[in-house]
Amino acid sequence: MSKKIFYLMIAALMVVLSACTTTSSPSGEGTTSSTGTEDNNVLTVSLGPDMLTWDIHNHTTTATEAIHVNVFDYLLMRDTDGEIQPHLAKEWKQIDDTTYEFKLTEGVKFHNGDDLTAEDVKFTLERVATDETLKSHGDFDTIKEVKVIDPLTFQIITHEPDPMLISRISRQASGILPKKYIEEKGMDEFLKSPIGSGPYKFKEWKKDSQITLVKNDDYFGKKGEWAEVLFRAIPEDSTRVAELLTDNVNIIANVPPSDWKRINDSDNSEIANGPSNRTYMLFLRTQEGWPTSDVKVRQAIDYAIDDKALVESLLDGGGTPTLTRVNPGNVGFEESLYDTYNYDVDKAKKLLEEAGYKDGLKIELAGPTGRYIKDREVMQLIAGMLEEAGIHTEMNLLQWSSFTELRDQEKFKEGYLIALGSSFFDAGQALDYYGTERSATINGYSNKEIDKLLQEANTSLDPAVRTAKYQEIQKIASVETPIVPLFQVDQFFGVSDGIQYTPRLDELIYIPDVNKK
Amino acid sequence: MWRYFTSRLLQIPIVLLIISLMIFVLVYVAGDPVAMMLPAEATQKEIQTLRIALGFDQPFYIQFWNYITDLVRGDFGESYKYGVSAIGLVLERLPATLELATASMIMAIIIAVPLGIISALKPNGIIDLFATGLSALGKAIPNFWLGIMLILVFAVNLKMMPVSGTGSWKHIILPAITLGTAVSAEITRLVRSNMLEILQQDFIRTARSKGQKKSVIIFRHAFRNSLVPVITITILQMASLVGGSLITEMIFSWPGLGQLIIQAVYDKDLPIIQAAVFVTAVMILLLNLATDVLYRFLDPRIKYS
């Protein structure tokens, strides 16, 4: 009898299971992972979480921009080496201190067939320059207006001389929007089915799942090799790695260091790393009352930390020790401060002694966890190194939103660790942090000489003059160390064997540059 | 009876209002979200400009008043991060979460009910010991670990299942097992203990002595009578599945509420948190109510006053 019951249950189980499998399959046609590499004309990429929006002006994340850049064209665009090249704008010249004139490439069309004209440029740039609620507004508010000369010629007029204008329009949020389409359909409709002029066209966005782009066969520039590109949202690191190892995804971003070996040892993929424009650094307080207000204490901290050891032991060599946060490929780069570092524990001890801390010093450093590669471990190692030099360090490790608040409200103690990028690729943005005005809300550093040099560099339109001034600022800052640059960090991608991909300095994934081997 | 249910229904808006107010206060205390919306490189001036543009410079009582008046009109506002209607974002992702929760529950029941019954028929037998051990494990294993292990074994090594995402019926199996395991353990133990208790009762002995078939005794008499508490727990567990699928959804890149809520909490995106908690709360309240109704339906002896 009991056997009968058992069989009955098995039968019931089968029935329910089969019912379950038919009801639980989603209604969508379902293309996701399985098609990833079966069809070698489809490229599947995962950058981590889903993109935020199709509004190019209302986000500030590289992962979102990395998708946008394939659908919308910039006026000027950096190549893989970070050099600015003509793109939508084929030539440009400066008319006066506040005016630049640009000529558009002929024959560029939006994905719906409309011509891309100067009117579209005016619409796009004036939108972000005037609407304060847009998150990219702050990067474009130097623009006063865009004057249309003829359908292919326009002038950008700035409020004041803006030496960074060219960098400004060749970076994040610089895509050109279709004026006519947006005015006819409305912004909401545009965000649901966006069109641009880029190498790929929007096809579908399944939120928190995947975005599908298809090749634009009429593209005016270099066309992509892939007929279709899928950007999949896979926020969990280990899952992303598993998808790469099972050939469901071809390129994954932000591979955690613990998985590098596993990927390199696998027979289908490898790690591709290359420099990013992000630098790990310690911001130290310089206001009276803090021990770090004494330059010798700051220097002691600099000398106590072995930047090279941080890079070698934690990042497998995936970074470059540095004494400046202006990296190669940026306007104003100072070569003598790059790929070098200060490390001398005896000197650090001596500096401490001179500063009056012979018996040791106690400080507290804050730092984010889970935001940057190995951020927590970097902090722990730094604390150990400082201890060796006689600086006892309390660590205040916080989740990113708490850290942001601590930093924003200046509640940190002697200093904090952060890894900042510089999306303008211009020292003007990176060195602003040493100016009295900006520092007032950060670490209170003030140096009249730097302020003067900054002022001169930021208003000069001569690149040679600017470069010279910025280089001088970096030399002063590397001695004064209100900020201790540690190392420029690499970006780490996992890439399938059949694919040729070199990471770009700006961390974007421009599909026309991703090739089949 | 009707009076009871009407009063229960009337309580719902009040509970929801209290929950909404609590969330507003908690998120407000957690701090200003504007610094989170801009990159770490943003200047204080940029932060301040956006703060004013979005109204975060207003005093607490004005922000609170705006929030309440919008809420009463059913307007949860626009997500700070995505810039679109928060309730729209939540409702868009709800079906995926419900789908996963339902699949997990079905899987849990399929495993738990037979296992519980067999265990009860032969207490301390091999199957019982196995089931007891399994349910202890099921309760104890954290689902983030279980999820990652299932991916490693069934997707990466055996290549039997897809790693993550949606698209085919296969995609739901691993997340459903991950999410359903703890519930399954709970139900197994409940079925077992209820069955054991009922099998000892007089009416079962009477049925046996009447010479009724064993299957009739087990299913018609014993199992049916042990169902009431099982159904209660099942529905209550369903509510916890809907609310508790966050981690499983993250691991399997399941496009449900989980990913949205976790990210919203990190970003202090109040409108999304608010809308998501509101929707989850409504579901839980309704499921609780449904349990009460079913209870009465299954066991007419229960009276509400």
Any domain includes A151: yes
Q: Which of A53, A132, A232 shows the shortest C-beta gap to B83? A: A53
Contact A138 B49 (CB under 8 A): yes
Question: Which residues, numbered 197 to 236 in chain B, qualify as contacts with chain A under a Cβ-Cβ cut-off of 8 Å?
Answer: 213-215, 218
Query: Is A255 in the same domain as A312?
Result: no
- CATH code at A383? 3.10.105.10
Query: Is A113 in the same domain as A250?
Result: no
Residues in A closer than 8 angstroms to B107, CB to CB, are: 20
Query: Is A240 in the same domain as A323?
Result: no
Please provide the average confidence, as pLDDT, over all residues in chain B.
86
Region A295-308: mean pLDDT is 96
* The pLDDT of residue A85 is above 80: yes
Closest Cα in chain A to B54: A133
Any domain includes A33: no
Range(s) within chain B of domains with CATH label 1.10.3720.10? 97-298
Residue A476: band (very low, low, confident or very high) from pLDDT cuts 50, 70, 90: very high
| DSSP states along A122-177 | HHHHHHHHH-TTSTTHHHHTTEEEEEEEETTEEEEEESS--TTHHHHTTSTT-B--
Please provide the average confidence, as pLDDT, over all residues in chain A.
90
Query: Is A166 in the same domain as A210?
Result: no
The encoded tokens of residue A491 equal 């970006």
Closest Cα in chain B to A27: B167
3-state secondary structure of B39: coil
Question: Which residues, numbered 277 to 296 in chain B, qualify as contacts with chain A under a Cβ-Cβ cut-off of 8 Å?
Answer: none
Q: Which of A31, A53, A207 shows the shortest C-beta gap to B93? A: A207
Q: Which of A13, A22, A243 shows the shortest C-beta gap to B164? A: A243
Closest Cα in chain B to A430: B41
Any domain includes A59: no
Q: How far is CA A299 from CA A291, A292, A386, A442, in A?
A: 12, 9, 12, 19
Say what the pLDDT of residue B304 is: 62
Query: Is A89 in the same domain as A19?
Result: no
Query: Is A332 in the same domain as A422?
Result: yes
- Rounded CA separation A414/A191 (Å): 45
Q: How far is CA A78 from CA A143, A172, A278, A326, A508, in A?
A: 21, 11, 17, 17, 10
- CATH code at A112? 3.90.76.10
pLDDT tens for each residue of A158-205: 999 999 999 999 998 999 999 999 999 999 999 999 999 999 999 999
Query: Is A345 in the same domain as A270?
Result: no
Query: Is A296 in the same domain as A445?
Result: yes
Lowest mean pLDDT across A435-444, B172-181, B260-269: B260-269
Query: Is A301 in the same domain as A422?
Result: yes
Question: Smallest CA–CA separation between A17 and chain B, in Å?
Answer: 8
Query: Is A502 in the same domain as A467?
Result: no
Region A275-286: mean pLDDT is 95
Contact A405 B250 (CB under 8 A): no
Contacts of residue A181, defined as CB under 8 A and 6 or more positions apart, other chains included, come to: A110, A112, A114, A190, A195
Residues in A closer than 8 angstroms to B263, CB to CB, are: 49, 235
- CATH code at A219? 3.40.190.10
Number of separate domains in chain A? 3
Say what the pLDDT of residue A25 is: 35
Which of B94, B164, B223 should be substituted to probe chain A, the one whose Cβ sees the most A Cβ atoms within 10 Å? B164
Say what the pLDDT of residue B29 is: 79
Which of B168, B179, B195 should be substituted to probe chain A, the one whose Cβ sees the most A Cβ atoms within 10 Å? B168
Residue B49: band (very low, low, confident or very high) from pLDDT cuts 50, 70, 90: confident
Contact B35 A408 (CB under 8 A): yes
Query: Is A127 in the same domain as A261?
Result: no
Any domain includes A224: yes
Any domain includes A36: no
Question: Which residues, numbered 253 to 282 in chain B, qualify as contacts with chain A under a Cβ-Cβ cut-off of 8 Å?
Answer: 253, 255-256, 259-260, 263, 266-268
Nearest to A263 by CA among B156, B165, B147: B156
pLDDT tens for each residue of B238-258: 888 877 788 899 999 999 988
Say what the pLDDT of residue B221 is: 81
Any domain includes A304: yes
The encoded tokens of residue A227 equal 């007929």
B19, with CB counted inside 10 A (0-12, 13-18, 19+), is middle
Say what the pLDDT of residue B40 is: 80
Nearest to B230 by CA among B115, B71, B101, B93: B115
Region A293-311: mean pLDDT is 96
Any domain includes A220: yes
Block residue for tokens 């782009």: A213
Contacts of residue A344, defined as CB under 8 A and 6 or more positions apart, other chains included, come to: A303
The encoded tokens of residue B23 equal 């969330």
Question: Which domain-ending residue is among A154, A183, A212?
Answer: A183
Say what the pLDDT of residue A417 is: 96
Say what the pLDDT of residue B38 is: 81
Q: Is B64 on the interface with A (CB under 8 A)?
A: no
3-state secondary structure of B78: strand
B296 φ, ψ (degrees, to nearest 5): -70, -40
A59 φ, ψ (degrees, to nearest 5): -155, 165
- Rounded CA separation B24/B275 (Å): 11
Question: Do residues B147 and B252 make contact, with C-beta atoms less than 8 angstroms apart?
Answer: yes
pLDDT tens for each residue of A318-363: 999 999 999 998 999 999 999 999 999 999 999 999 999 989 899 9
**Radius of gyration of chain B from Cα atoms?**
24
- Rounded CA separation A107/B224 (Å): 75
pLDDT tens for each residue of A378-389: 999 999 999 999
Closest Cα in chain A to B259: A208
Question: Smallest CA–CA separation between A401 and chain B, in Å?
Answer: 6
pLDDT tens for each residue of A246-267: 999 999 998 988 899 999 999 9
Residues in A closer than 8 angstroms to B93, CB to CB, are: 207-208
- Rounded CA separation B205/A18 (Å): 37
Residue B30: band (very low, low, confident or very high) from pLDDT cuts 50, 70, 90: confident
Nearest to B191 by CA among B149, B220, B222: B222
Any domain includes A63: no
pLDDT tens for each residue of A10-62: 455 444 444 433 333 333 333 344 444 456 799 999 998 888 899 999 988 88
Domain carrying residue A447: 3-24+275-490
Fold of B97-298: MetI-like fold (1.10.3720)
Question: Which residues, numbered 83 to 142 in chain B, qualify as contacts with chain A under a Cβ-Cβ cut-off of 8 Å?
Answer: 83-84, 89, 92-93, 96, 99, 102-103, 106-107, 110, 114, 117-118, 121
Question: Do residues A328 and A338 make contact, with C-beta atoms less than 8 angstroms apart?
Answer: yes
Query: Is A19 in the same domain as A134?
Result: no
Residues in A closer than 8 angstroms to B167, CB to CB, are: 26, 28, 30-34
Residues in A closer than 8 angstroms to B83, CB to CB, are: 52-53, 55, 58
pLDDT tens for each residue of A397-408: 998 888 988 888
Percent of chain A with pLDDT over 90: 76
Nearest to B82 by CA among A67, A127, A197, A208: A208
Region A142-148: mean pLDDT is 96
Q: For the CA atoms of A245, A212, A424, A477, what is the dihedral angle to 10 degrees?
A: -30
